[in-house]
Chains A and B, each alone.
Chain A
Amino acid sequence: MIDHKIVVIGLGGVGSILIERLCRFMNFSQDMSADILLVDGDEYEPKNYERQEFTRLGNKADIKATELETKFDRLRFDAFEDYVTTENVGDVIHEGDIIFMCVDNHKSRMIISNYCKEIKKVTLISGGNDFTDGNVQLYVRREGKDLTPDLCKYHPEIADPTDKLPTEMSCEELSVSEPQLYFANLGVATIMCWTFYNAIIKESYERSEIYFDILTMNSNSKIRTVN
């Protein structure tokens, strides 16, 4: 029996879709169990029903942990009801974790990717989308060495982000959200599940970035070099 330590950061449009599929797969896999930490400082509100899966209003991490433990009794859930920052990232991420990053800003991606570089063994799967396209990146470290590039290496917009953490934004900034397509969130969540299957079940890390585009109906995976 393999006991995984899973961390899902962000339980909005991508995270709330992903976590249900991931838990169903893990709960009914005979050789697998997991401790799952759900991380989000945001609240589910009625406006989120358009793209996000939840049954009650309240803190996203708390609500999802409560919902999922009644559906998937072989898995263990915990909630971290805050956004990830440089101050608390060490409380969220630990050696050996498999992290699903479903956030909506590059500054969080940069902080988490950089923190993972200090860990000996970690698997980081990060997804993001614009309105009709998106990408997923896989960062794998084993025995203190990068097996795939970190999130920043091929993405200067993540290495040098111009956006803010949710904790740095004003109420006005937080209340303004860009329109998103549910199917783009679904595409990211699905490809993150494919990436988990390849990286963790098949131990295949060769293709560490995957792009998709709904309008051209294309997807394309990339082989990235570490050095």
Chain B
Amino acid sequence: MGTTFNKEQLERKTSRELKRMCVEELNLPGLTKKTKDVVVDAIMAQYGSGSATISKAAPVTGIEFTGISTMTKPDGAFGSRTTTTIHVSCGASSGNFPVVGRTVKQVGEFLREVLNVDRLSTGLINGKEADGDYVLKQGDNLEFLKPAGKKGC
């Protein structure tokens, strides 16, 4: 059972509320850096000109690892010729995780607590902004952008 919004109601929400809605409820990635007008237009474009129906998405409860691997070091010692991990970071935290074949969005959910990933965080693959549906492959480097520190005075 969803809630219906029209454009006027969406415009009354703050930019942050709209972006959170896109990430958590509407599965509309790539809007966290956009202006409020663009976000509202994107929601209306996706859900029709009259109204947007919002319903809660099922939570991600885990990640399936199917063992996709590539022989990246054919001359390496027995047992270390393949690797199935990629480097994932967020702010000062980082690690190598078996997430090849998973989407950026899934990895963000999976590592949310481990790396303190914000729900609105944009994913970068090898330094370039990535769509939440991008499927990670061998050799990728994934970073979830952490907001800048604000205080200092």
The chain A residues found within 8 Å of chain B, CB to CB, are 10, 12-15, 42, 102-106, 109, 126-130, 133-135, 137, 151, 154-160, 162-163, 178, 180, 184-185, 188, 211-213, 216, 218-220, 222-225
Contacts and interface: CB of A to CB of B under 8 A. Distances in A.
Contacts of B145: 154-155
Interface string B118-151: 0000101001100000000000000101111111
A220 B148 contact: no
A205 to B, nearest CB: 14
- Per DSSP, are chain B's interface residues mostly helix, strand or loop, or mixed? loop
Given A213-B93, A222-B143, A129 B152 contact: yes
Given A14-B153, A160-B15, A160-B35, A155 B93 contact: no
B148 A157 contact: yes
B32 interface: yes
B94 interface: yes
A154 B32 CA distance: 11
A159 B36 CA distance: 13
A9 to B, nearest CB: 10
Interface residues of B, number: 24
B13 interface: no
- Per DSSP, are chain A's interface residues mostly helix, strand or loop, or mixed? mixed
A158 B91 CA distance: 16
B58 interface: no
Contact of A188 (B15, B93, B152): B152
Nearest to A189: B152
Contact of B152 (A14, A163, A212, A224): A14
B25 to A, nearest CB: 20
Contacts of B153: 10, 12-15, 42, 102-104
Contact of A158 (B32, B127, B148, B152): B148
Contacts of B152: 10, 12-15, 102-104, 127-129, 134, 185, 188
Nearest to A192: B152
A225 B128 contact: yes
Contacts of A135: 91, 146, 148-149
B7 interface: no
